Structure 1
Amino acid sequence: MHKPIVHHIPVCPFCQRLEILLALKGQPNAVEFRVVDITRPRDPGLLARTRGTTALPVMELPDGRVLKESLVILDYLDETVPGPVQRRPDPFEHAVEQMLIAKEGPLVTAGYRLVMNQDRGQRQPLLDALLGAFAQIDDVLLAHSPEGDFLFGAFGLAEAVFTPIFMRFWFLEYYEGFELPAGPNYDRVRRWRQACLAHPAAQQTSREQVIKMYYDYALGAGNGALLPGRQRSSFVFEPHWRTRPWPPAEKYGPSASDAALGLV
């Protein structure tokens, strides 16, 4: 029996949430993951199947039908792959789950805008926007799960959505010196984040990998784009990220060369 095919980038947070879901279901091999190199032109055949869009992940079903958007694919896999269903069975709890998941978009936008910012003068308003997004998540958690670590007693669908984002925000700690402040607006979301990061189903990537591969994001170049004076993206697969030196944490000064980054 043919498996669905998921075209993905290993270090992409939106792809990792699918891997987390399959780990929670005990079915890590339920789909075939095919790696896409975003530093090269996209395969014309894949572009034809996705109707010209390049965002990943994309899932092809055995009969040729295609699904896009990670949250859509996540729901489909949760319903169709054998194993414990991760969405809450109770309608109200599932609604709460969806209310929390709705906060993911603003958090992602705020975090990526901050890491990609190149203007020191804009740093504070961007930081304020990120803190505001965290505070809104904290508010939902306090309203519906003030005492526990997770939203509903155990790591579930909402945690699978947010954990890869919390992991990518290691680049904010490294390149922006970002830390969640202490205090009532952030204490609950901090506890949730810590529990999510430690969960055994969510260990597909590491802090070192994120920081090394997202160096170009910290200089304002995303999705494999090349910076001036550079010939290779920090997202290349070779040399392997483990063999590269740690990049400079100072993002507002001169950028490192390909050689300094261990890319050649």
Structure 2
Amino acid sequence: MTPSQKSLAKGSPAPGPVPKGSIRLYSMRFCPFAERTRLVLSAKGIKHETINVNLKEKPDWFLEKNPLGLVPVLETPEGQIIYESPITCDYLDEVYAGKKLLPSDPLEKAQQRMLLEHYSKVVPFFYKIPVAKRNGEDVTALEGELREKLSKFNEILVKKKTKFFGGDSITMIDYMMWPWFERMETLQLKHCLDQTPDLAKWMERMLEDPAVEETMFSPEVHAVFYKSYVAGTPDYDYGL
């Protein structure tokens, strides 16, 4: 894997072809959606290269690859393009050998995808609450809603009596959920886990996972990026 490079902005030359035997990830180092794909690449040990994109000043060649202008995007040596985080992750799991992250049983796979749909309703709170706080609004009701949603995920772990959401080892759904939990401290939302002990234990176990260790940033680093992002001048290359 080539080390992450500084982000490429508008006016930068388009990267050359993807090397044979590799796959390319277009990413942004602090994007939680792109982190999902980085987690899967790491967990499966897939040979890849990463090209980081300046999402404020997107290069034209990047918009040709994904007109939505979002990361993550995968590009194969044959020039095929895959985007949207769950789709890129499913693709990697299906195409590459090694540890399988999606269950082989169709019902279990469907259950993980339904759980991901439920989780997609949680994600907006990680954005809404900090914005409301910055605007000086009372966030009690919003935090109450987030607590309620997180308690449902806690209940799932209690009922299943497993360490992770798909069983006693990490599967795809855990990686799909993780990036926002990694940012909870930075977003000042960790207190919303006060009444979800099983979810808190899940977080502790996730922190011990090699793929999580390889892809994550410390709360301090997240805080520096987040401050720059809120100020409207995101420092995509912080720490490089």
> TM-score category by the smaller chain?
0.7 to 0.9
Q: 1:150 aligns with which of 143, 164, 187?
A: 164
Q: Paired residue for 2:140, among 102, 110, 124?
A: 124
- Structure 1 vs Structure 2: percent identity of aligned residues? 22
Is 1:206 paired with 2:214?
A: no
Q: Which residue of structure 2 lines up, in the alignment, with residue 109 of structure 1?
A: 124
Contact 1:107 1:130 in 2 (8 A): yes
Distance in 1, Cα, partners of 2:99 & 2:193: 36
Aligned ranges 1:47-86 → 2 under 5 Å: 47-51=63-67, 53-86=68-101
For structure 1, the 5+ residue unaligned runs are 227-232, 243-264
C-alpha contact (below 8 Å) 2:30/2:222 kept by paired residues = yes
Equivalent pair of 1:150/1:159 in contact (CA under 8 Å): yes
The answer on whether the counterparts of 2:28 and 2:236 sit within 8 Å (CA) in structure 1 is no
Change (3 A) 1:19 1:181: closer
Structure 2 regions of 5+ residues with no counterpart?
Answer: 1-19
Q: Within 5 A, what are the aligned runs for 1:154-233? A: 154-173=169-188, 178-183=190-195, 186-203=196-213, 204=215, 205-216=217-228, 219=230, 226=232, 233=233
Aligned residue pairs, count? 217
Superposition deviation, residue 92 in structure 1? 2.8
Please tell me whether the aligned partners of residues 58 and 67 of structure 1 are also in contact (alpha carbons under 8 angstroms): yes
Task: Give the C-alpha shift of residue 113 in structure 1.
Answer: 0.9
Q: Which residue of 2 aligns with 1:37?
A: 54
Q: CA RMSD in A?
A: 2.1
Describe the SS at the equivalent of 1:150.
Answer: coil
Q: What is the identity, as a one-letter code, of the residue corresponding to 1:55? A: L
What letter is aligned with 2:71?
L
For the 8 Å contact 1:180–1:190, the answer to whether it is kept is no
Amino acid at match of 1:37: N
